[in-house]
Amino acid sequence: MPVEVRGGVELRKALKKFTPDLAKALPKEVATALKPIVKTGKGYLPDNGQILSGWVTRPNSTGTFPTYDVSIAKSKIGYKTTPSKPNSKGFRSLVSIFNKNAAASIYERMGKLSPESVFVKNQQQKYNAPFKGKDRMQGRVLFRAYDENNGKARDAVITAINSAADALNKSTKV
């Protein structure tokens, strides 16, 4: 899933400085490439009736384990086209697809590390969804949607960045 692009942040700064119209067009092109993955991922989330009854939202619950509600889970899945802050190794994410719901994240990865747990076995008996992806990038929702996209979004994002860089270079030639 991760692809290394050098000079992406500098390109965005140069686009804002020299060609503001290109700076606005680049995130739109990238968003066009990411929207199908997000939409497909939202479709892979199970309905409230397909989840274990003890995991759905209860009015008088005082527990700390996150409860599952499909409408909340779908609203917390999205994409971001602005660069992130550098991590401890200095890398940034120029584009990201995210899942900000704890219960949906649990559903995405449950059974990856402990496939023999009672919770995982019970959920798989009720609603079994396949894992897709490779190695650590394996899951049931977003990783599955990305894997089934066959790299089309990744290629479209790289093409958008390269075409913006080429357009910037053409416009700044003296």
What's the pLDDT tens digit per position in 22-68? 778 888 888 999 999 999 999 999 998 888 877 877 777 677 788 88
Dihedral sign (CA 119, 53, 50, 38): negative
Give dist(CA 131, CA 119) in Å, integer: 17
Residue 159: CB partners within 8 Å, gap ≥ 6? none
Q: If DSSP codes are grouped into helix, strand and coil, which group holds residue 139? A: strand
At residue 76, the pLDDT reads 95
Give dist(CA 28, CA 38) in Å, integer: 15
The mean pLDDT of 136-148, rounded to a whole number, is 86
| Token duo for residue 74 | 């779908």
Report DSSP state, residue 91.
-
Instruction: State yes or no: pLDDT of 128 exceeds 60.
Output: yes
Say how many C-beta atoms besides its own lie within 10 A of residue 82's C-beta: 10
In this prediction the pTM is 0.79
At residue 160, the pLDDT reads 86
